[in-house]
Structure 1
Amino acid sequence: MPLYGLHASHEQIHPRALLDAVVLAEQAGFDAAMCSDHFSPWSARQGQSGFAWSWLGAAMQATGLPFGAVNAPGQRYHPAIIAQAIATLSAMYPDRFWTALGTGEASNEHITGQGWPRKDVRSARLLECVEVIRALLDGEEVSCDGLVTVDRARLWTRPERRPALFGAAVSAETAAWCARWADGLITVSGPIEHLKRVVGAYRDAGGQGKLALQVHLSWAEDEDTARHIAHEQWRTNVFRPPIPWDLELAAHFDAVAEFVTPDDTARAVNVSADLGRHAEWLRSYADLGFDEIYLHHVGQRQEEFITAFGESVLPRLAEVDSWS
């Protein structure tokens, strides 16, 4: 049976409320949690963006859950600082933390005032960052004079075992590229045939380790409310690259999403008031071979979702798995 976790969306929810949510999720039967790492929300309607690394320390102390985070080193974050953050959390909470590394989005990275590089440059920069982070976690002294600059960096506090560095990919092409360096892969929900291509590309290219999936969903006690929540909160997130990579401000996302309809949003988010339907969707993802599935209810109120899924969806998934 896959591990089912909660995705904590810093762009949408105040960090104090997110802390309460992961504590409740553990009590409700979720197995793990992961979080985003943004400087800016995708929309002014979302209206938050707490600092993930401060929150992770509090969340890991408040629960016994394993956690992950998706991070983009190289511009807003120097890779040596990310290596130090990973090492400290992993030393404090052994075998409970993983990080997924990606090339990032301009909405978070433009704040440095540097130009936003082309995709091929961002990919090359990410590879340099991965090499720096991995070497530092292995205890090496690192210097680098390339797309990132590092001068004789060394981590003095490290975990006994190096935590996993996943690759973050949306397309099959990026998944195959991640197979060159990643300890695992994380992607986001989409049509089953698309996810098959992503998984196949990663494995066919020699990709090792776990497969993780972040699932965007909207649930409420009635269908109209579930559709309203998805459209109100997540209509800025229905666009394919390069739009999400290259827009800089929440106002830009709100502008391009002006004419997105609830039906458009429902093609990017699993929207239903039927908990059984949500269980079916999640089971279909598990059948693709995902080892960890993180549920992101795109609404800002988490308590009702966590309670309902803990009572009705997670037990149903466990029951189905026990008969398979």
Structure 2
Amino acid sequence: MTRLGYHASHEQLGPRTLLEAVQLAERVGFTEAMCSDHFAPWNTRQGESAFAWAWLGAALEATSLRFGAVNAPGQRYHPAIIAQAIATLGAMYPDRIWTAFGSGENLNERITGDRWPSKPERNERLEQSVHVIRELLAGHEVSHEGRVRVDRARLWTLPEHPVRLFAAAVTPETAAWAAEWADGLLTVNQSTEKLERVIGAYRDAGGDGAVMLQLHVAYADSHEQALREAHELWRTNVFPPPLCWDIDSPEAFEQAAQHVTPEQVKGSVFVSADATAHVDEVGRMLDVGFDRVYLHQVPNDQRAFLEMAATHLIPAFAEVGA
């Protein structure tokens, strides 16, 4: 095993291309992968957003990788439906699926036409949704009245082994709260100081599960090309909460990002044409305290990144994972 995983970005690559990418990721030595679960991309240049749960079935069948998916139950998805999806994949592919739950973004959830709730309301809804999902995965019949409503739901197909339910958290406050209900924590790259605060908040609140990072990187033939492509595709993804939670369309994200510079993108994406630099950055993240790092190649050329990973990243971190 390694302590590395590959991130499959549905917002940037079509489902067939992404399936080929995870197959290549396995061939070069990755044993872990994760994917996003959006209804819309962050901007029109990204230009894709396939249905993650259909794709996951194909990806699990086409590889032997273990997969995770980030999901926001409660508005776009009813928690009973997500529980059914998790149970089905868990039954078909034992010990190869996990989910990280978050409170969602308006970009995706607004499609239902329902009001976009405040963050405290969304957290309350998320906690209730996770409770419903856990009860269903345990084989119980569930009825619930609250931020979500459930009427006598029961799953008839269950996984033989428990499926781990993590929390997706960006802030220390959410990380501390997640320690109350999650099996572990997933976050995204920020400054080292902020990442240490997120991990510290989770651990201080009693969280003892795995702590994982989605690390955005840009690798290309030259530094200039890597930075140019990172800026083109990812400048809409530099905004901190609550702005990133509340913007409601790819076009609005593009408007907000029109003055974002390439240098500012480097605060969210590790940019380098030097393979050794990528090895050092991953090592630094592991030293911060992460048990596993999932690498997201922001430029669309996944093959160049994965071939670099085969010769540099995978050998450097070929050790027993946490």
TM-score, normalised to structure 2's length?
0.97
User: Which residue of structure 2 lines up, in the alignment, with residue 141 of structure 1?
Assistant: 141
Q: Give the Cα separation in 1 of the matches to 2:296 and 2:133.
A: 28
Instruction: Find out whether 1:267 has 2:271 as its counterpart.
Output: no
Which residue is equivalent to 1:258? 258
Structure 1 position 218 matched with structure 2 position 255: no
Structure 1 stretch 206-215 or stretch 73-82: which is displaced more?
206-215
SS of the residue 1:294 aligns to: strand
Question: Could you tell me which residue of structure 2 aligns to residue 174 of structure 1?
Answer: 174
Aligned to 1:237: 237
The structural deviation recorded for 1:313 is 2.1
Task: Give the partner amino acid of 1:173.
Answer: E
3-state SS in 1 of match to 2:77: coil
Measure how far apart 1:2 and its partner are.
Answer: 5.3
Deviations 1:47-90 (A, max 9, x none): 00000000000000000010000000000000000000000000
Q: Which moved more, 1:186-195 or 1:169-178?
A: 186-195
Pairing of 1:72-83 with structure 2 (within 5 A) = 72-83=72-83
Paired position in structure 1 for 2:294: 294
Q: Is the 8 A contact 1:141 1:154 kept in 2?
A: yes
The one-character-per-residue Cα deviations of 1:4-24 (angstroms, maximum 9, x if unpaired) are 111000001001000000000
State the TM-score, normalizing by the size of structure 1: 0.97
Alpha-carbon displacement from aligned partner over 1:217-275 (angstroms, at most 9, x marks no partner):
10101011000010000000001111110111100000000000000101111001111
Q: Which segment drifts farther, 296-305 or 17-26?
A: 296-305
Runs of 4+ with >4 A deviation: none
1:185-236 per-residue CA deviation (whole Å, 9 max, x = no partner) reads 0001122221111111101101121111100010101011000010000000
Secondary structure of 1:6's aligned partner: strand
Q: What amino acid is the match of 1:293? A: V
Map 1:1-12 to 2 at 5 A. Answer: 3-12=3-12
Which aligned pairs between 1:34-183 and structure 2 lie closer than 5 A? 34-183=34-183
> Where do 1:17-28 residues align within 5 Å?
17-28=17-28
Tell me the SS of whatever aligns to 1:133.
Answer: helix
Alignment length (residue pairs): 320
Judge conservation of contact 2:213–2:294 (CA < 8 Å) in 1.
yes
| Letter of the structure 1 residue corresponding to residue 127 of structure 2 | L
Q: CA RMSD in A?
A: 1.1
What's the CA shift string for 1:129-173, capped at 9, x where partnerless? 010000000000000111101000000000112200001101111
Structure 2: how far apart are the matches of 1:277 and 1:31? 22
Could you say what secondary structure the match of 1:287 adopts?
Answer: helix
- Contact 1:2-1:290 at 8 Å conserved across structures: no
Whole-Å separation in 2 of the counterparts to 1:129 and 1:316: 39
- 1:249-305 residue CA offsets vs partner (Å, 9 max, x unmatched): 100000000000000101111001111111101001111222221000111221111
Q: Contact 1:188/1:213 (CA < 8 Å) preserved in 2?
A: yes
Q: Gaps spanning 5+ residues in structure 2: where? A: none
